[in-house]
Amino acid sequence: MTRKSFISKLTAGTSLLVFGVGVGMGVNSLMNIPQISAFSPQLTSTENNGGNDSSVALIPERRSNNSNVNFVAEVVQNVGPAVVRINASRTVSTNVPSVFNDPFFRRFFGDQIPEMPNEQVREGTGSGFIISSDGKILTNAHVVEGATEVSVNLKDGRVLQGKVLGTDALTDLAVIQVDADNLPVARLGNSDDLIIGEWAIAIGNPLGLDNTVTTGIISATGRSSSQIGVGDKRLDFIQTDAAINPGNSGGPLLNAQGEVVAINTAIIRNAQGLGFAIPINRAAEIAEQLIAEGKVNHPYIGISMVSLTPQNRQRIQSEGFRISEDEQGVLIVQVSPNSPAARAGLQSGDIIKGIGEQNVADAETVQKAVASSRVGNDLQLRLKRNQEDVNLNVTLGILPTN
């Protein structure tokens, strides 16, 4: 095996720090991609618009006069009006074979050749939720990716035209604006406080079935993008067994108090009881930047790396890297030219032992440290280079988008 092929296999899930990618996550009818399906969550805004406090969640009073109303029904009654259906259409090329339009060819076959348009409009649906009373809606980026027209169906029957304020492919999040006031708003919770085993309620429009509700529990937290097979995303995910299907993308995952704790985003094909959602704390941060700037600048340092696990160590050594049997940390396999890492003096073969005072045991720790920092900040790296300790500061740059 060549070092090149070894590097590509070994760093498939950990090269996000070098490259920006735009592959949409999840599957809905707009995407027409069969491998992974995506779904949706909800948020609230903290902006003040002309004296109208749009951060107030307009949640109806609970209706507990019916003995059949349990906590799930109360959550649905309260939050349901803030969940929307998003319809997106885009124009795509049909790639008609040139021979069909050849006059010589048509001269012999005439009307037997069907008229084939050069372009075709494709439509898809997803979910979203209202995060401010003045019409801002949070959804997944892949729901509106490449869309030339977006409309939003409210639960009260209104259909409003939507404008995409911004999208971020790396976190699969987007914000849409509709022209309306005094809309019901989904109340945001704190995804950092989630406990494995607590109730989870999903609301969305799976398979075009509007206002569908499913329940389950929080199955796990902190699932890395590489663990669930979407290594092009820079996120940790919440895992749930609440049923989510294509069309749920962008809808809210709620706790028993009716607070949005995550945005339903993806399922793994052929898996049973495995759904994944973006933590609302992370989504709220991205939404604020999309509203303010229309885009998100992600920090990066510019390395490909691999964790020094027993499974990786033997293959690493076979490719010429000198690693002792008890060495711990993260091996830098490649440094991108003209990157922050290159400018700071990092080299292929360096082993990252720590960031600041924190020890580093795996590549995910490095990714999280970079993602949680800001462009222009310095990361203090503790390295081992040829059995010597080296300390370097890396100034984070803006992750390239192409």
Which residues belong to the active site? 142, 172, 249
What CA–CA distance (Å, rounded) separates 44 from 173?
14
> Max CA-CA distance within the chain?
78
In Å, how far are 108, 322, 326, 347, 348 from 385, measured between CA atoms? 73, 10, 15, 9, 10
**Dihedral over Cα of 66, 69, 70, 76: its sign:** negative
Look at phi and psi of residue 356 and say left if phi exceeds 0, alpha if psi is from -120 to 50, else beta: left
Dihedral (Cα; 328, 329, 332, 333), 10-degree rounding: 50
Query: 83: which strand partners?
Result: 129
In Å, how far are 346, 356, 362 from 368, measured between CA atoms? 19, 13, 11
Please state the φ and ψ torsions of residue 254, each to the nearest 5 degrees. Answer: -115, 155
Dihedral (Cα; 265, 270, 274, 278), 10-degree rounding: -20
Beta strands in 155-259 (DSSP E): 159-168, 173-178, 199-204, 212-224, 236-240, 249-250, 252-254
What CA–CA distance (Å, rounded) separates 235 from 221?
12
Token readout for 162 is 């939507």
5: DSSP letter: H
What CA–CA distance (Å, rounded) separates 320 from 1?
12
